[in-house]
């Protein structure tokens, strides 16, 4: 079925995002089942992860940033019901305020997630390189760090709130209302696209890569799990290595599931510059669905790799006791000045 799109005044065509006027009911049902499953599983998994970490007797700085990641995931998936409403109604029926906020929240929470991962990797690298001891949260560092992450993310994502508007558009001869992104001009769109990708994707990604490269080099250089630090000896436990691996997996999964969205942002820019380039709303929906899946993987990967089956006990409402294996195993025998990093 051919679709003809134009604005109500016939001068401009806008990308419809989640509004698809040629979607079959069977496909919409499938989309609803998949998205609803992601929504439910993500809520259970992230809340379980938050409860599990809250029950720990000691929360270290890195764990506080991971906790922030889980909270950002919950905010992120809160937009799934809005998307499903759009897929069923096709036209925009949720009002101006939700139009301004839904992509803003998606963009904001995504930024918080990646920057939180980069903060964790940076904190771990600094702790290991300085061979410092972190038995509890550094309140000042955590508060300043979390506040900075949310303020920075809120500011850089602000154009999503300002420029998403409800507009009238003609589809197959019928004037309908859609929520879409309307930039004042192309130059502002180009400036934001490039700066946003650099500040919120490439730079945090570079920090993560550099940090874990340093951590990997340290763990790889260990002979019999011992690193000589001048006159001291630092023991890198199996627990340490597993934590490094877990956070590395979280980072890799994030880039796999968010890179397609970044590519779509660039394609949308090209679509505005060259009208012959088109992105079907269904393709955009499934790419977004892949991104939402990251909110399921984050808590599951973290819990399975670090706490094994303890998250199941949380779901089943069993109490979780702090055990020795939730902290880094270290030995400080001969030299009382030996310090170590913990998660």
**Domain coordinates of the chain in residue numbers?**
5-325
Question: Exposed e or buried b for every residue in 71-86, given b needs 16+ CB within 10 A?
Answer: bbbbbbbbbbebbbeb
Per-residue pLDDT, 136: 58
Q: What is the mean pLDDT of residues 297-319?
A: 62
Both tokens assigned to 133: 């001891």
Question: Angle, nearest 10°, between helix axes 95-130 and 203-220?
Answer: 30
CATH superfamily, domain at 5-325: Rhodopsin 7-helix transmembrane proteins (1.20.1070.10)
- Asked if pLDDT for residue 223 goes beyond 50, the answer is no
What is the distance between the alpha carbons of residues 260 and 66, in angstroms, rounded to a whole number? Answer: 24
Per-residue pLDDT, 13: 66
Query: Which of 1-5, 25-29, 81-85, 102-106 is the least confident region?
Result: 1-5
Mean pLDDT, the chain, whole residue set: 77
* Whether 312 contacts 49, CB under 8 Å: no
Q: For the chain, how are helix, strand and coil distributed in percent, rounded to 5?
A: 65, 10, 25
> Could you write out the DSSP letters of every residue in 256-290?
HHHHHHHHHHHHHHHHHH-TT----HHHHHHHHHH
Question: H/E element holding 111?
Answer: helix 95-130
102, 146, 96: which is closest to 123 by C-alpha? 146
308, 319, 323, 317: which is closest to 44 by C-alpha? 317
E-strand stretches of the chain: 5-7, 164-171, 174-181, 226-229, 232-235
Per-residue pLDDT, 16: 83
Ramachandran quadrant class, 90 (left: phi over 0; alpha: psi -120 to 50; beta: rest) = left
DSSP 223: B
In sequence order, the β-bridge partners of residue 227 are: 234
Query: Full-prediction pTM beyond 0.85?
Result: no
More reliable by pLDDT, 6 or 301: 301
Express as a percent the part of the chain with pLDDT over 70. 72
Question: H/E element holding 21?
Answer: none
- Asked if pLDDT for residue 8 goes beyond 50, the answer is no
* Whether 4 contacts 171, CB under 8 Å: yes
Per-residue pLDDT, 313: 55
- Asked if pLDDT for residue 231 goes beyond 60, the answer is no
83, 3, 92, 6: which is closest to 289 by C-alpha? 83
What is the distance between the alpha carbons of residues 231 and 223, in angstroms, rounded to a whole number? Answer: 16
Per-residue pLDDT, 327: 39
- 52-66, 258-272, 302-316 — most confident range: 258-272
- What tens digit of pLDDT does each residue of 170-220 get? 877 788 899 998 888 888 888 998 999 899 989 998 888 888 888 777 766
Place of tokens 């698809």: 20
Backbone angles phi, psi at 317, to 5 degrees: 65, 25
What is the distance between the alpha carbons of residues 222 and 126, in angstroms, rounded to a whole number? Answer: 18
Both tokens assigned to 175: 């004037």
């Amino acid at each position: 079925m051919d679709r003809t799109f134009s604005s109500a005044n016939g001068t401009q065509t806008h990308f419809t995002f989640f509004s698809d006027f040629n979607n079959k009911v069977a496909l919409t049902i499938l989309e609803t089942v998949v998205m609803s499953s992601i929504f439910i599983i993500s809520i259970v998994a992230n809340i379980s992860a938050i409860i599990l970490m809250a029950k720990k007797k000691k929360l270290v700085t890195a764990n506080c940033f991971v906790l922030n990641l889980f909270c950002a995931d919950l905010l992120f998936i809160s937009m799934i019901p809005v998307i499903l409403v759009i897929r069923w109604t096709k036209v925009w029926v949720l009002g101006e305020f939700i139009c301004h906020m839904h992509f803003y929240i998606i963009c904001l929470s995504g930024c918080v997630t990646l920057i939180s991962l980069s903060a964790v990797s940076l904190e771990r690298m600094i702790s290991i390189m300085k061979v410092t001891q972190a038995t509890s949260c550094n309140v000042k560092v955590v508060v300043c760090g979390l506040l900075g992450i949310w303020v920075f993310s809120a500011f850089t994502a602000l154009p999503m709130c300002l420029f998403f508007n409800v507009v009238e558009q003609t589809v197959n001869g019928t004037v309908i209302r859609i929520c879409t992104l309307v930039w004042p001009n192309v130059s502002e769109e180009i400036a934001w696209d490039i700066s946003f990708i650099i500040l919120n994707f490439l730079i945090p990604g570079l920090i993560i890569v550099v940090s874990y490269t340093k951590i990997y080099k340290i763990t790889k250089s260990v002979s019999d799990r011992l690193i000589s630090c001048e006159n001291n000896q630092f023991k890198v436990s199996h627990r340490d290595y597993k934590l490094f691996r877990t956070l590395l997996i979280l980072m890799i999964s994030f880039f796999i599931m968010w890179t397609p969205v970044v590519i779509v942002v660039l394609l949308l820019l090209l679509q505005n510059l060259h009208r012959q380039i088109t992105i079907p709303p269904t393709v955009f929906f499934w790419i977004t669905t892949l991104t939402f899946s990251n909110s399921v993987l984050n808590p599951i990967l973290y819990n399975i790799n670090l706490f094994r089956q303890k998250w199941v006990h949380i779901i089943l409402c069993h109490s979780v006791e702090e055990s020795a294996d939730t902290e880094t195993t270290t030995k400080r025998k001969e030299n009382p000045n030996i310090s170590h990093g913990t998660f």
